[in-house]
Amino acid sequence: MENDKMFEFMTKMYSEMKEGFNKVDVRLDKVDARLDKIEITLENEIKPNIKASLEGYSQVCEKLEVLEEKVDALAEKQSNQEVEIRVTKGDQIRKII
């Protein structure tokens, strides 16, 4: 009799544990599916966007360098013109005196 109760208890406990493991398996399957979806999104959407952004950043940097060179050249021309204006005004003032 006592063995029968022990057997029933063990059977019930085994059944409950098996049910618990099945629930854990279902949850893990859902987590795996979500992880797969995240990986696909990362590979197909996020990485290409990052790559495109970096390429755009590189192009902007290159154009900025060209613009800086042009600004430097214009600043130098402007400085030279200021000197020429001073010299010309100085010559005109000397001619008047």
Q: Is the dihedral of CA 20, 22, 26, 31 positive or negative?
A: positive
Angle at 94 between CA 89 and CA 95, to 5 degrees: 95
Q: What is the pLDDT of residue 88?
A: 81
Look at the pTM and tell me if it is higher than 0.75.
Answer: no
End-to-end CA distance of the chain: 137
CA distance 52 to 25: 40
- pLDDT one-digit tens code per residue, 1-37: 788 899 999 999 999 999 999 999 999 999 999 999 9
Query: Residue 91: which pLDDT band, with cuts at 50, 70 and 90?
Result: low
| Spatial distance between the Cα atoms of 20 and 18, rounded to a whole number of angstroms | 5
Band (pLDDT 50/70/90 cuts) for residue 97 is: low
pLDDT digit string, tens, across residues 34-67: 999 999 999 999 999 999 999 999 999 999 999 9
